[in-house]
Chain A
Amino acid sequence: MNLGDTLLFASGSLRGTRSRTILMMIAMSIGVAAVVILTALGEGARRYVVGQFSSLGTNLVIVLPGRSETAGINPGMLLGKTARDLVLDDAQALLRSPAVRRIAPLTVGAAQASHGSLNREVVVMGTTSTMLEIRHMDLAQGQFLPQIDPRLAMPVCVLGATIKKELFGTQPALGAWLHLGNRRFRVVGVLAAQGESMGMNTDDLVIIPVASAQQLFNSQALFRILVEAKNRDMIEPARRDAEQIIKQQHSGELDVTVITQDAVLATFDRILRALTLAVGGIAAISLAVAGILIMNVMLIAVAQRTQEIGLLKALGAAPAQIRQLFFTEAALLSTVGGMAGLVLGEIGSAIIGKLYPVLPVGAPWWSVLAAFGTALGTGILFSVWPARRAAELDPVAALARR
């Protein structure tokens, strides 16, 4: 009996019991679709987070003031000293590292912004011209901060899209004066709307030169120093150099924390991947249920087709051939059911993608393969027993009565 005949015979007997076949295929396809949709969601969440991180900038190393000790006691604490502030000189010193392409110091504070009769509280970010490239910001109008010595204060500012709309409405903002606290800044540029990115909404920002911000808030301390490494391989050297240089600057004491965006990203990536796997695994349980359903129905099929099996034996079918026929039926069922499930899953993910456009929903290739493989595997695995039952049927008893 060759493969083509086996397939024909098996599909013929599946067509013979149409409603049962369709029910089994539905069970199988729901299982597969569940795996595909859930992993697509998980993968979407992962891509979303990864995307958010990359929009922060690429190859970033971030220097934060203060050191979080996980073990032991910071000797400074015993002497009643707190961590030294990060200052502009520290930031400039970081440029000595050959692994560093550029840096952007960052101070953040809140101030009252007003234009004419309109005023509101805004987040003011003090930084340098390099911020534009490091953070991948886009300008809608005008220019970014001028390329000047970071130690120089200059009364210019760049507005976030929302601030521009709320304080200026449809009026042109470029060239106008904006009051921040008791100082005046001339608007030189407006940022393009970008939306939220890792909790920091650039649309709600006013950006001024770092030295101006230090005057405005009357503090030399920097909030962060963003360091961009020359390339991906340079991230780790840049991190080491940054620690080394700050240590030198701070008289031999390492009182800053240096994190790489990569490390954070990798952690999130791992967590979300594990989550996707877990969710997919839960969905795979429904596949196992579908497999057990197939086993049940195959057992019923064997019982119902006792006579036919006995006949096939009388006509010279070997036990292996009978087993093969039932296997083929199960494999056909799971293949067709699985493929229907893949289609269903893709449609489902597409619908979710439409409903939540921010989520880049899409099942990863491994989950599609795994779902289909599991469907086929369970279908065949759970037909082993029914197929053996069929092959071991006593033909005399099977044919005895109709």
Chain B
Amino acid sequence: MIEFTDVSRIFMVGDQEVAALRNVNLRLEAGEYVSIMGPSGSGKSTLLNLIGLLDRPTSGTYRLDGQDVTTLGDAQQAQVRSEKIGFVFQFFHLVPRLTAAMNIELPLILAGIPAAERKERVVRLLENYGLADRADHRPDQLSGGQRQRVAIARATSMHPAVLLADEPTGNLDQATGKEVLNLLEQLMEQGVTLIMVTHDPNIGQRAMRQLHMVDGQIVSDSRRQASS
């Protein structure tokens, strides 16, 4: 489903080239639960951004569902993002002036889904994530866990095939973090491919497949056999 062939991403820092990713080859199947671990600066986030089409590789090709998406234009990439990819961020990235319900509705508005259907979907999502009584609260009136739940609801509102999470628990306490992880893992059971960047080995080990990165390369790719 996700296929990286010889993908490199080189940034120019001043007049120096810095390779964030070096000739990465990677193949992820639909429905996998993958964690990407490694020290900071190892290229985890760059890899995630490339998968999410927020960034373009300097060289190499990226196929998503068999389609070469590296050559697509900005507008087409936006469409792919809208239809297939959901993001969950460490800092939630909710729009502060919009209520929880409106934040969840945002991807649906951008995709041009009719208002009646939007409302229906938002109500269902709010219920699923236990936010029904928080629908009209703005982000600054929500706790960290609630904010991340809103963010997850928003990421799943378009029923994406791939969910990308960049340190989703990084800004939460232990208990809330666990709660959020459980939510994400439930989604995976519904057939969503979950890709999570973390530097916390405890969290990373929950994934069925673990990628370790160092200096822009994947140094180990291990699978967990037994389920916990």
Task: State the interface size on chain B (CB cutoff 8 A).
Answer: 29
Which of A87-95, A194-202, A314-322 is the contact stretch? A314-322
Q: Are A316 and B52 in contact (CB under 8 A)?
A: no
A314 to B92, CA, bound (A): 12
**Complex partner residue of B82 from A2, A311, A316, A320, CB under 8 angstroms:** A316
A396 interface residue per 8 A CB criterion: yes
Which residues from chain B contact A401 at a C-beta distance below 8 Å?
Answer: 91
Which residues from chain B contact A395 at a C-beta distance below 8 Å?
Answer: 54-55
A307 to B90, CA, bound (A): 13
Q: Are B79 and A314 in contact (CB under 8 A)?
A: no
Task: State the interface size on chain A (CB cutoff 8 A).
Answer: 28
Which residues from chain B contact A9 at a C-beta distance below 8 Å?
Answer: 109
B133 interface residue per 8 A CB criterion: no
A130 to B95, CA, bound (A): 82
Q: Are B95 and A316 in contact (CB under 8 A)?
A: no
B4 interface residue per 8 A CB criterion: no
Chain B residue with the shortest CB-CB distance to A314: B87
A116 interface residue per 8 A CB criterion: no
Instruction: Tell me, rounded to whole Å, the shortest Cβ–Cβ distance linking B38 to chain A.
Output: 18
A308 to B75, CA, bound (A): 18
**Complex partner residue of A316 from B55, B97, B158, CB under 8 angstroms:** B158
Q: Which of A16, A316, A396 has the most CB of B within 10 A?
A: A316
Q: Are B52 and A314 in contact (CB under 8 A)?
A: yes
Q: Are B54 and A12 in contact (CB under 8 A)?
A: no
Which residues from chain B contact A318 at a C-beta distance below 8 Å?
Answer: 74-75, 78-79
Q: Are A399 and B89 in contact (CB under 8 A)?
A: yes
A314 to B106, CA, bound (A): 11
A339 to B107, CA, bound (A): 33
Q: Are A313 and B112 in contact (CB under 8 A)?
A: no
A221 interface residue per 8 A CB criterion: no
Which residues from chain B contact A320 at a C-beta distance below 8 Å?
Answer: 75
Q: Are B109 and A1 in contact (CB under 8 A)?
A: yes
A215 to B54, CA, bound (A): 102
Which residues from chain B contact A396 at a C-beta distance below 8 Å?
Answer: 49, 54-55
Instruction: Tell me, rounded to whole Å, the shortest Cβ–Cβ distance linking B192 to chain A.
Output: 16
A45 to B89, CA, bound (A): 65
Q: Are A316 and B110 in contact (CB under 8 A)?
A: yes
Q: Which of B49, B93, B96, B115 has the most CB of A within 10 A?
A: B93
The tally of CB-CB contacts under 8 A between chains A and B is 72
A5 interface residue per 8 A CB criterion: yes
Q: Are B111 and A316 in contact (CB under 8 A)?
A: yes
Which residues from chain A contact B78 at a C-beta distance below 8 Å?
Answer: 313, 316-319, 321
A312 interface residue per 8 A CB criterion: yes
A223 to B135, CA, bound (A): 89
A13 interface residue per 8 A CB criterion: yes
Q: Are A311 and B95 in contact (CB under 8 A)?
A: yes
A308 to B78, CA, bound (A): 15
B154 interface residue per 8 A CB criterion: yes
Contact with B along A359-396 (1 / 0, CB 8 A): 00000000000000000000000000000000000111
Q: Are B79 and A316 in contact (CB under 8 A)?
A: yes
Known: A396-B49, A396-B55, A399-B89. A315 touches B110 (CB 8 A): yes
Contact with B along A272-311 (1 / 0, CB 8 A): 0000000000000000000000000000000000011011
Instruction: Tell me, rounded to whole Å, the shortest Cβ–Cβ distance linking B13 to chain A.
Output: 13
Q: Are B106 and A12 in contact (CB under 8 A)?
A: no
**Complex partner residue of B74 from A307, A308, A319, CB under 8 angstroms:** A319
Q: Are B109 and A314 in contact (CB under 8 A)?
A: no
A312 to B54, CA, bound (A): 11
Chain A residue with the shortest CB-CB distance to B105: A5
Which residues from chain B contact A311 at a C-beta distance below 8 Å?
Answer: 93, 95
A81 interface residue per 8 A CB criterion: no
Q: Are A316 and B112 in contact (CB under 8 A)?
A: no
Contact with B along A309-353 (1 / 0, CB 8 A): 011111111111100000000000000000000000000000000
Instruction: Tell me, rounded to whole Å, the shortest Cβ–Cβ distance linking B195 to chain A.
Output: 14
Binding site for A on B (CB under 8 A): 49, 52, 54-55, 74-75, 78-79, 81-83, 85, 87, 89, 91, 93, 95-98, 106-107, 109-112, 115, 154, 158
Task: Give 8 A-B contacts (CB < 8 Å), ordered by A residue.
Answer: A16-B97, A311-B93, A312-B106, A315-B154, A318-B75, A319-B78, A396-B49, A396-B55
**Given A316-B110, A318-B75, A321-B78, 19 more contacts at CB 8 Å?**
A2-B112, A5-B112, A12-B97, A13-B97, A310-B93, A311-B93, A311-B95, A314-B54, A314-B87, A315-B82, A315-B87, A316-B79, A316-B82, A316-B111, A316-B158, A317-B78, A318-B74, A319-B75, A396-B49
Sorted from nearest, which 8 A-B pairs have the closest CB atoms? A316-B82, A318-B78, A16-B97, A318-B75, A402-B91, A316-B81, A315-B107, A395-B54
Binding site for B on A (CB under 8 A): 1-2, 5, 9, 12-13, 15-16, 307-308, 310-321, 394-396, 399, 401-402
